[in-house]
Structure 1
């Protein structure tokens, strides 16, 4: 599946910081992780820290799937507002899902510091009403977040304009948010080991063609004919999971992003907060450490690569117009444009955990707009399940919920 097109900024900026071999021998190990994007990299990080022998396989060169196309906003907000998620899954589960995403931001910050990644920055977040009709929902959402323990403020339209320089029909300001570089974060995670003598055991350009699950373990065959045997198999293949699961769990769609030319100075907005709105599809903006503005959105409800790519020039034009309408003083000039596949589930929550039709399998599928925080939640749950530890949060994200 072609997951992205165009020139994702992070890939252009960072290139291929590390290289990995292609598997050229048979292997027996405790755990195999299929997928070396952000989800698989975080699972590996947690398992390595527990001393679990694991091998990571990816069909592509590392990081060239959805991870390189990520816009890397880190928010506790899920694509379904908390007030609406409460109606879908109940107050306790909805609040806990939001709180887990909030905790994940802090944990990602700590891991980034440990790994020496400079691209992580804490930010505030502005969620504004794009239309007047959205104001009642926005105020209800504000109350729901406050009740769930989040530090939030409600900004009236005049306050929003005065403080941030753009027009909206009101906004929620959240203290907890961050931004990063998911592509480099993934590469740094994949370099992690408990000590320098440990083998990395990561193989890219290694496509798995057959997988056989049984009660005693899992056997995989690669395109080159090598055999990999393991006790447990973790699927971290993201949107390509449709190739492994016979149950419809996700609708695949397409999204677009444009990043500006470099500015000589930083003539941006207050605190360079993350900005997004209530529209459907929603618009979002962030800045980058090297004096750029990134804008994304204009999603379409299909994932056909040919159709998606044909629209890229048209969508980019409108995203540039969106940026200049919001902040005319920026005179936004595009430099890199890309599009990618993303997915949404019926309740906008990810699928994490065991999948009973496939014995000894675990899935970390961080679908949705905040897939990075979902990926960290998934890594912690899978670690606990493999180690036989109790994790009550697994109930929220299980397949048969």
Structure 2
């Protein structure tokens, strides 16, 4: 599947920092990870730290799937508001899902320091009402988050304008959040190793997988095989090829990065900004003095239709920023589109799937895919080690 198009800023900025070989031999391994984006990279990092031998393989050049198209906002907030998630799955698991995302941000910060990924910044998050009709919902959400233990404040229209310089009827300010560069972080994670070899192969599409009671045999398009005891699917939105029930709706999102500003006259604390609209608008800054805006999502049908909308969406997103912050005179320089998945409850799918033995899934669907990926890495590592993970049921396939 063609997951992105256009000129993703991170790919232009960072290029191809490392190269990896194609698979050109038959191999055996304890665990094989299919997919070398941010999800697979985090799973691999956790497995190696746990002493589990693993091999990674990807159909593309490393990082050129959804990871390079990520806008890399790290939030404890998921696409489904907490008070609505409580209504859907219950108070305890809903609060736990949000708290795990908050925990994941802390862990990602530690990991970024360990692997020397420089682009990681703690940020506050401002979630504002796009319309007056959203005020009751936002007030209810504020109470739900406060009860769940989050450090949040409710700002009225006057406070929003005086502090952040734009008009909105109400907003929740959270002290929990961060931003990173998922593409660069993935490459740094993939340089981590515990032996002599990285055991990472790219440009090697898997065309056949035969699962057995004692493992699986994978075959590449060039005829080489991988024999593994366990298979981990970190293929993201392409997972629809392996799961025989409806678990995700595919969407296309659009992102634009501005020209570089000589002076960083942005908004207070350069907080992460997003709103209650559907689809929602989201805005952040970059370390080199740019503004990144994303949103204007569409249902995904085919790549060509998605790609043809880039110019139109660029103009719309540019207008969105300039309406919110007229003083910025936002001028687009890089624009792209990417495919992502949304689930009914906004939660990812993590763990085992009954119809595929010896297989594990790290599917960080939704707008919070990076934090979900870390949660998946911890859960899957526990499962492979034979440990019980108390959080696994929240994200299991059984909930559908």
Task: Please report the TM-score for the alignment, with normalisation by the length of structure 1.
Answer: 0.99
**Distance apart, 1:117 and its partner CA:** 1.1
Question: Matches of 2:175 and 2:296 in 1, distance apart?
Answer: 26
- In structure 2, list runs of 5 or more residues that go unmatched: none
SS of the counterpart of 1:360?
A: strand
| 2: CA distance, partners of 1:231 / 1:66 | 27
Q: How far has the Cα of 1:302 moved from its partner?
A: 2.2
Inter-partner Cα distance in structure 2 for 1:28 and 1:337: 41
Instruction: Report the Cα offset of residue 193 of structure 1.
Output: 1.4
For 1:11, the equivalent position in structure 2 comes to 11
- Does 2:82 align with 1:99? no
* Matched ranges for 1:28-177 at <5 A: 28-177=28-177
8 A contact 1:303–1:341 mirrored in 2: no
CA RMSD of aligned residues (A): 0.6
Quote the Cα distance in structure 1 between the aligned partners of 2:158 and 2:286: 27
What is the deviation of 1:347? Answer: 1.0
How far the C-alpha of 1:303 sits from its partner, in A, is 3.8
The CA deviation at 1:372 is 0.2
| 2:396 paired residue number | 398
Matched, 1:293 2:291: yes
Quote the Cα distance in structure 1 between the aligned partners of 2:118 and 2:386: 35
Is this contact kept in 2: 1:8–1:338, CA < 8 A?
Answer: yes
d(CA) in 1 for partners of 2:148, 2:192 = 35
Residue 238 (structure 1) aligns with: 236
Q: Distance in 2 between matches of 1:304 and 1:147?
A: 42
Q: Over residues 156-195 of structure 1, what are the superposed CA-to-partner deviations in whole Å (9 max), with x where a residue is unaligned?
A: 010000000001111000001000000000000000113x
Supply the distance in 1 between the matched residues of 2:280 and 2:59 (Cα, whole angstroms).
32
Deviations 1:55-89 (A, max 9, x none): 00000000000000000000000000001000111
Match of 1:358 among 356, 359, 374: 356
Runs of 5+ unmatched residues, structure 1: none
- Give the Å deviation of 1:248: 1.3
* Match in the other structure for 1:270: 268
In 1, Cα distance between equivalents of 2:382 and 2:338: 31
The separation in 2 between residues aligned to 1:399 and 1:165, in whole angstroms, is 44
Match of 2:26 in 1: 26
Match for residue 339 of structure 2 among 338, 341, 347: 341
SS at match of 1:359: strand
Q: Which 4+ stretches in 1 moved above 6 angstroms?
A: none
| CA displacement 1:81-127 (0-9 Å, x = unmatched) | 00100011111110000000000000000000111111000000000
Query: For residues 379 and 350 of structure 2, what CA distance do their matches in structure 1 show?
Result: 8
CA deviations on 1:265-287 (whole Å, 9 max, x unpaired) are 10100000000000000000000
Alpha-carbon displacement from aligned partner over 1:347-373 (angstroms, at most 9, x marks no partner): 111000001101100000000001000
Deviations 1:305-354 (A, max 9, x none): 11111111001101000000000000000000000101101111100000
Scaled by the length of structure 2, the TM-score of the pair is: 0.99
CA contact (8 A) 1:254 1:302 kept: yes
SS in 1 for 2:47: helix
Could you tell me how far apart the structure 1 residues matched to 2:301 and 2:160 are? 35
SS at match of 2:92: helix
Distance of 2:305 and 2:222 partners within structure 1: 32
Q: Shift of the alpha carbon at 1:244?
A: 1.1
Counterpart mapping for 1:224-263 below 5 A: 224-263=222-261
C-alpha separation in 1, matches of 2:188 and 2:149: 32
- Give the distance between the partners of 2:180 and 2:301, measured in 1 at CA: 26
